[in-house]
Amino acid sequence: MSATLILIIIAGYFGLLLLISNIVSKNTSDESYYTGDRKSPWQIVAFGMIGAVLSGVTFVSIPGMVGNNYFYYLQFVFGNVVGYVFITYVLVPIYYDLKLVSIYTYLETRFGAKTYKTGSMFFLISQSFGAALRLMLAAKILQYAVFDAFDIPFYVTVILILVLIWLYTNKSGIKTIVWTDTLQTFFLLLAVFVSIYVVKTSLNLNVSETITAVTDHEYFKIFDWDSHSGNNFFKQFISGMLIAVAMVGLDQNMMQKTLTCKNKKEAQKNILTFSIFLAIAQFLFLGLGVMLYLYAEQMGISLEIENGQFINTDNLFPMLSLNHFGMIAGISFILGITAASFSSADSALTALTTSFTHDFLNIQTKSAKKKLQLKNRTLFGFSAFIFLIIMLFSESKGDVISTIFKVAGYTYGPLLGLYMMGIFTKVNVYDRAVPYICIAMPLVTYFLNYAFIEWYNFDFGFMNIFVNAALTVICLLFAKKKVI
């Protein structure tokens, strides 16, 4: 595909985002950026959240990882569904009853100011790294497909994406994102269906034969019962449940969209609907992964292998879409990855800005002029921070999705422990001890995992979030206040 054509497509897509932004931004208030005026239709929020959770990482990483990890990721998805049920019936009522803008305000009402700031800070760190890694992957693909042809350096590509996001989200923030994410989810899923159709047609398969080709393939292994494996069913299922609670239910990014719904009942409908369709979409991505490897094998396309494992698996989908699937599939892929890059970064930057301005700058008490200044400075600061993280990890290899979930296990673990302690016990703890506990426990978890691998050949895998949260709870119990 011509780089110029791809650039025109991206420009047209961005123009559409700006149009939506201008329409939505009419009649906005000071709080529209943070709450969306709490008038978003729950159906729109649910559909848009699919694209935000999938992001560019899922878009290319899940199909590619099938070659080394088979369908084991589906065990993680099963756990996700249970986690979303918990979010629906436990966390959403708490957030709505307290009328929260920043969800971490709950920690202040339950434990105290230092716990509140600690929880918010862990979110800021987690979200910054997660958003940066997601955006990095999408930016690399756009660099390969478009900007290399114009000799534009990678760092300029990243800056350009961040500037474009600022242009359409700066005025009304989450109110715009609820609607633009809907468009972005559509293009993301469209690319998957077009790719499946192209591969099916190229391999001369009908629908039933395609299903059989996937389910009979050696990669169609869903359950792993090896207790030492990081892909063990119980590790994947439990960690999937906990990571869903942490990365959606305790994540300002995801919950900020949910809290734009008109009321608690509609917010709950949003989460349940979103969880079902997200699980279906992830299954489709895994199925697409098998088809991509089938296509490469049938067409004699050699893939990089090292020590019996496929390497650079994140490159498989982009490489086939842009070089082998034809123009229609190539265009749909570019639209999909562009949608993914904007969708994953725009809501993250808005959530980071919301959390920092409310949790650390008390923006709700400022004048309208001061609110605007603080919001713009914070948005610029986090954009710069994400840019630096991307540059730091820009030479990394392997599937990014595994890296994101591993990092999440360490950064969201203390948050998960704090909320579980707050919701399911009446224990009060010494507020001043919480920051030290939350900083120490991820480090302890890391060294425990290392020791178990060395001594017992036992990898926690994604279960590090469970270990981290459990250790946090235990230490919090030791820091409880004595009843006099």
**pLDDT tens per residue across span 80-137:** 999 999 999 999 999 998 888 888 999 999 999 999 999 999 889 888 888 888 788 7
Least confident interval from 207-216, 294-303, 339-348, 452-461: 339-348
Any bridge partners for residue 40, and if so which? Answer: 261
In this predicted model, what pLDDT tens digit does every residue of 247-263 receive, in sequence order?
A: 888 888 778 888 888 88
Distance CA 16, CA 53 (A): 22
pLDDT at 290: 93
Sign of CA dihedral 326, 162, 186, 7: negative
Give the pTM: 0.80
Dihedral angle sign, alpha carbons of residues 230, 463, 119, 439? negative
pLDDT at 48 over 90: no
Structure tokens given for 90: 């436990």
By the 8 A CB rule, do 416 and 245 touch? yes
CATH number of 3-24+40-414: 1.20.1730.10
Which residues contact residue 50 at a Cβ distance below 8 angstroms, ignoring those fewer than 6 apart? Answer: 185, 188, 189, 274, 277, 278, 281
Q: What is the DSSP letter of 91?
A: I
Q: Report which of residues 106 and 461 the model is more confident about.
A: 106
Whole-angstrom distance, CA of residue 410 vs CA of residue 415: 10
Q: How far apart are CA 20 and CA 15, in angstroms?
A: 9
Going by pLDDT thresholds of 50, 70 and 90, the confidence category of residue 484 is: very low
Distance CA 69, CA 72 (A): 6
Is residue 336 helix, strand or coil? helix
Q: How far is 242 from 419, CA to CA, in rounded Å?
A: 12
**Domain ranges within the chain, ordered by starting residue:** 3-24+40-414
Two tokens, residue 344: 């994953």
